[in-house]
């Protein structure tokens, strides 16, 4: 599994923690930035991650800003992306099981390092249930802007 990951300046420090966690767990990733706490525009980085996932170069994506709201909105503008903003591990589990989310958004100002690591762990290890949820995910994917 290969993960695309990106953030804005507000998510930079938490992204660094997640990169360490990914390395410790031997998970391949592509870091698209940003690379410091200098102010940047979050849509640029969320779109980069979303394009890698939508294009099939990466299996899942993780985006981080201060609240997680902006990056999730930006990512969801890309066709084929189902990005879920999660603040706990149950949300991460359920969005994978029922929504087949292919991207995770988190807010660095909303959750700490330990919770973020647990959310990522659950998001990456939980499989989509399919079944009755398959139809609903198909309906989500059919919505056009």
Instruction: Write down the pLDDT at residue 144.
Output: 81
- Spatial separation of the C-alpha atoms in residues 83 and 95, rounded to whole Å: 9
User: Whole-prediction pTM value?
Assistant: 0.97
Instruction: Choose the catalytic residue: 65, 83, 86, 133.
Output: 65
Q: What angle do CA 91, 117, 60 make, to 5 degrees?
A: 65
Instruction: Write down the pLDDT at residue 33.
Output: 98
Query: Is 83 an active-site residue?
Result: no
With b meaning 16 or more CB within 10 Å and e meaning fewer, what string describes 93-113?
A: bbbbeebbbbbbbbbbeebee
pLDDT in tens, 44-95: 999 999 999 999 999 999 999 999 999 999 999 999 999 999 999 999 999 9
pLDDT in tens, 112-138: 999 999 999 999 999 999 999 999 999
DSSP 11: G
Query: Is 133 an active-site residue?
Result: no
């Amino acid at each position: 599994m290969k993960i695309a990951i990106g953030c804005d300046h507000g998510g930079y420090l938490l992204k660094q923690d997640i990169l360490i966690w990914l390395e410790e767990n031997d998970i391949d990733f592509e870091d698209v930035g940003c690379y410091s706490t200098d102010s940047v525009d979050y849509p640029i980085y969320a779109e980069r991650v979303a394009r890698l996932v939508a294009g099939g170069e990466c299996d899942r994506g993780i985006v981080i800003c201060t609240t997680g709201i902006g990056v999730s909105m930006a990512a969801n503008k890309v066709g084929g992306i189902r990005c879920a903003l999660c603040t706990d591990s149950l949300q991460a589990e359920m969005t994978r099981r029922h929504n087949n989310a292919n991207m995770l958004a988190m807010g660095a100002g909303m959750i700490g390092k330990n919770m973020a690591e647990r959310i990522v762990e659950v998001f990456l290890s939980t499989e989509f249930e399919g079944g009755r949820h398959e139809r609903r995910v198909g309906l989500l994917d059919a919505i056009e802007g």
